[in-house]
Structure 1
Amino acid sequence: MSKHYGAIAFTEAVRDAQRSHGSIGFYDRKRVQGKAAPGIDPLTTEEAEYLAERDSFYIATVSGTGWPYVQFRGGPTGFLRVVDDHTIGWADFRGNLQYISVGNLADDARVAIIAMDYVHKRRLKIYGRARVVTADEEPTLTADFSVPGYDATVERVILVTVEAFDWNCPQHITSRYTAAELEDHLAPLRHRLVALESENRRLREALAEED
């Protein structure tokens, strides 16, 4: 947990819940430490390397009516980038044209992000403030964030100034694997299957010749 995470996440209502369930002592120290620390929390090498390996994440925004909205964002591995110690960004590809997240950000720049690693049961939670940069405004930046070989239209770039983050507990995360992640394990099995089929064919042919 970064220094300022508790100062953002642990509201009075949250603290009441922690008090009720006996965890207020531990987490209140985190909250007080965060409030006393100046500035915002920098990402470390661990977070940067983790985010660079993601091919998707979930982002929450808040609408003008106060309703939260959670959206899945995906792309090739590496489309989510760490720009510097305090900034992450990604190419926002054309989707179903609802533009709910983009519209919400015009009212409220605050976002919450969860980046999952289902294979190793890890998740990183991020608080930040987002800035939308359209292709018309900064075509060079948009081009820099495009992914070579990926057939998708980049409409804008979303840049998020990270204010705090937390590595969440791995409990209750179900392991899931993509086809690419399974390929290293499946390839030897496929080769073995081909070899067994070839051997089986030779044995059948040899038996047929004996008959």
Structure 2
Amino acid sequence: MSRYLNIATTPSVAAAQEHYGSAEQWARIGARGGADETAQSQRLGPAETAFIRGRDGFYLASVSETGWPYVQYRGGPAGFLTTIDSSMLGFADFRGNRQYITTGNVRANDRVSLFLMDYVHRRRLKIYGHMQVIDAEDDAELAKRLTVPGYPARVERLVLIAVEAFDWNCPQHITPRLTQAELARLRTQPT
């Protein structure tokens, strides 16, 4: 079984799988490895790196000290979320609505989950990780590395996410959607 599913499959999840009849399916997947070596080792390979760098946004989940989940959308130009190396992601955190909910949550519990979507090609990548927030003025070299040249947003913080595990998820029920830029490219392609 993949490292991601090992983390996700708690006793309560296993009980639900048993109750709803999918326990045997996941036992078979686990018995044959269920994932390639990259997913088992938690190391991001070329496919994951290209997918991550191609996204112009993702969903980021954290958990509050009172146990409530919080999910937010993080957006920017394609590539603003990048791979530092095969087990570390990073992005420049732009000034937003100034609620700082995720930033506060990870001070108490650094575990996060990222959900990256490619609606056009009906693909998604789920990532578990440990998030660290650094004030931008505290690490000028990292700020330079993570800042997207020419993007007008104000960088307040730098975010590093140590990848714990990831999983490619099935395309079922993903409705293809296009951004304006993707639609424009399709319109200009020769038929």
Fold conserved between structures, TM > 0.5:
yes
Task: Classify the secondary structure of the residue corresponding to 1:79.
Answer: coil
Q: Distance in 2 between matches of 1:40 and 1:110?
A: 18
Q: Where does the alignment leave 5 or more consecutive residues of structure 1 unmatched? A: 190-211
> Judging changes above 3 Å, is the alpha-carbon distance between structure 1 residues 83 and 133 closer, same or farther for their aligned structure 2 residues?
same
Give the paired residue count.
Answer: 185
Task: Classify the secondary structure of the residue corresponding to 1:136.
Answer: helix
Task: Classify the secondary structure of the residue corresponding to 1:177.
Answer: coil
Q: Do residues 164 (structure 1) and 161 (structure 2) align?
A: no
Are the counterparts in 2 of residues 40 and 163 from structure 1 also a CA contact under 8 Å?
no
Q: Do residues 57 (structure 1) and 51 (structure 2) align?
A: no
Q: TM-score, normalised by structure 1?
A: 0.82
Q: Distance in 2 between matches of 1:136 and 1:91?
A: 12
Q: TM-score, normalised by structure 2?
A: 0.90
Query: Which structure has the larger Rg?
Result: 1
**1:129-149: CA deviations, max 9, x gaps?**
111111122122112211111
CA RMSD of aligned residues (A): 2.2
Q: Distance in 1 between matches of 2:29 and 2:138?
A: 40
Q: Which amino acid aligns with 1:74?
A: G
- Match of 2:46? 45
Q: Which amino acid aligns with 2:87?
A: H
Q: Distance in 2 between matches of 1:29 and 1:41?
A: 21
- Match of 2:18? 19
Superposed, 1:1-211 pairs within 5 Å as 3-28=2-27, 41-187=42-188
Q: Distance in 1 between matches of 2:153 and 2:25?
A: 46
Q: Is the helix fraction higher in 1 or 2?
A: 1
The share of aligned pairs that are identical, in percent, is 49
Task: Classify the secondary structure of the residue corresponding to 2:26.
Answer: helix
Displacement of 1:41: 1.3
**1:36-66: CA deviations, max 9, x gaps?**
x9x9511111111110100000000000111
